[in-house]
Amino acid sequence: MKLQDLKNKKVLIVGRGIEGSAALRYIKKHFPTNIIDAVDQKDGDSYLDKQNEYDIAIKSPGVKSSLLKIPYTTAINIFLENTKGKVIGVTGTKGKSTTSTIIFKMLKKQGINAYLGGNIGQSPLDFMDTLNDQSWTVLELSSFQLQDLKKSPHIAVLLMIVPEHLDYHKSIENYVNAKRNILRFQTTSDFAVINRDFLTTNESDLETSGRIFQVSRERECDEGCFVRNKAIWIRKDQKEVEIIKTSEIRLIGEHNWENICAAAMTVFLIGVSKENIASVLKTFRGLEHRLEFVREVGNIRFFNDSLATIPQATIEALDALEETGTLITGGFDRGLDYKELGLKIAESGVKTLILFPTTGKKIWKAVCDSGKNLPEKFEVNSMERAVRIAFSETSSGKICLLSPASSSFNLFKNYKDRGNQFKEEVKKLI
């Protein structure tokens, strides 16, 4: 939707979160005489009862489209239809925040006029008026933001896809379909950077008309970025260039090599030098709440991985931190399968398992079903108790890892609140 199409319209903002609030500010700024109202489900069950009094709605992510009986758009669609410069969109089940941040840092290192927004915390409507034709915007995009997409970004980055948010999308097919919208509206002048190590992602190349570049940490790519002989390589137009030795990368975890390859390939297409790509990778330690080192107390190292909200992320964390003696895990149940995680815990050498409800019981059953030696189990309902038990039970020289493999919404406000509570309790230890 072109911005001018909103002129003299009665606009209903549905949702007063980050995107809804940004849309409200933006529309009021550009159309001060419009009738503009905002509602939220927190207002009660009848919050949409008067929607027919408006011409159009601007829907926030996560609001089900079936609830709207009038034409609607979204803040992301408004941005993509009206922005200046070019847009890089990044999505995937995990890794999108890390990849988006690395891309942004690499663009800035090259001296490019770059902005970062989307699911990572800031609506791009907040900075759209400052963009020019030379600007690059990096958008982290969730399945909720993508499900209503009508225009794809110039460079679409599709990372690993595994089941998540099935409580909302109802099926893996609906979830994957939403993710693939990032590719679906591309033209032959666009680019797609696709992870080939995950079948669902790799098969998504059928959805784009853009030029495809693959990324992999497991095998070489005809055109793309991959790991070979303990180094990151880019191959494009039948030419190869070595970017960096994997031993020089500061970011913890081999799973992050996929994200690094995706970021490096993306900025290489734009013209960022291999020197500036490598420079960022030699210094970037990672995001808060993702394999974040908190402190060492009594020869025990504490790591915060609260951003791990699916089993696959916790499996990757255990791979990255092989000295984990204590795992704090579990949380809100969204119907995910914990069989693979249970086997990983049983085989990983974890001696102490501290479990939050409600998925804690599912995880424990999966560990028991593995037929391996069982760790000692503790069930807790507070972060304070979890950390205290971890401090007393973890062996000297080992790691205590918070990696919940679940959402946070039963005991905590969100993953940030959960991670911050963990860090606060660790800081209290003496």
Amino acid 169: pLDDT: 64
d(CA 413, CA 328): 18
Residue 11: which pLDDT band, with cuts at 50, 70 and 90?
very high
| Secondary structure E strands in 305-383 | 324-329, 352-355, 376-379
Q: What is the largest CA-CA distance in the chain?
A: 69
Q: Are 302 and 295 in contact (CB under 8 A)?
A: yes
Q: Are 425 and 327 in contact (CB under 8 A)?
A: no
118 contacts: CB under 8 Å, gap ≥ 6: 76, 89, 100, 124, 138, 139, 140, 141, 142, 145
- Tell me: cis bond preceding 208? Omega within 30 of 0 counts: no
Amino acid 165: pLDDT: 62
Amino acid 174: pLDDT: 87
How much is the CA Rg of the chain, to the nearest whole Å? 22
Amino acid 430: pLDDT: 85
Q: Enumerate the CATH 3.90.190.20 domain ranges in the chain, comma separated.
A: 292-427
CATH architecture of residue range(s) 292-427:
Alpha-Beta Complex (3.90)
At 254-280, the pLDDT tens digits run 999 999 999 999 999 999 999 999 999
pLDDT at 367 over 60: yes
Residue 167: which pLDDT band, with cuts at 50, 70 and 90?
low
Higher pLDDT, 94 or 163: 94
At 217-239, the pLDDT tens digits run 999 999 999 999 999 999 999 99
| Secondary structure E strands in 237-284 | 239-245
296 torsion bin: left (phi>0), alpha (psi -120 to 50), beta (else): beta
Percent of the chain with pLDDT over 90: 91
CA dihedral (408, 412, 413, 417) in degrees, to 10, reads: -100
172 alpha-carbon distance from chain centroid: 17
Amino acid 170: pLDDT: 66
Q: Which CATH class is domain 3-74?
A: alpha beta
Amino acid 171: pLDDT: 82
pLDDT at 353 over 60: yes
Between the alpha carbon of residue 200 and those of residues 204, 220, 262, the distances in Å are 7, 19, 16
Q: Enumerate the CATH 3.40.50.20 domain ranges in the chain, comma separated.
A: 3-74
| Secondary structure E strands in 78-185 | 86-91, 114-118, 136-140, 155-158
- Per-residue pLDDT, averaged over 82-86, amounts to 98
d(CA 216, CA 54): 48
Q: Which CATH class is domain 83-281?
A: alpha beta
Find the range with the poorest average confidence among 80-84, 97-101, 271-275, 372-376.
Answer: 372-376
- Per-residue pLDDT, averaged over 37-63, amounts to 95
Q: Enumerate the CATH 3.40.1190.10 domain ranges in the chain, comma separated.
A: 83-281
Q: Which helix (H) or strand (E) holds 234?
A: strand 231-236
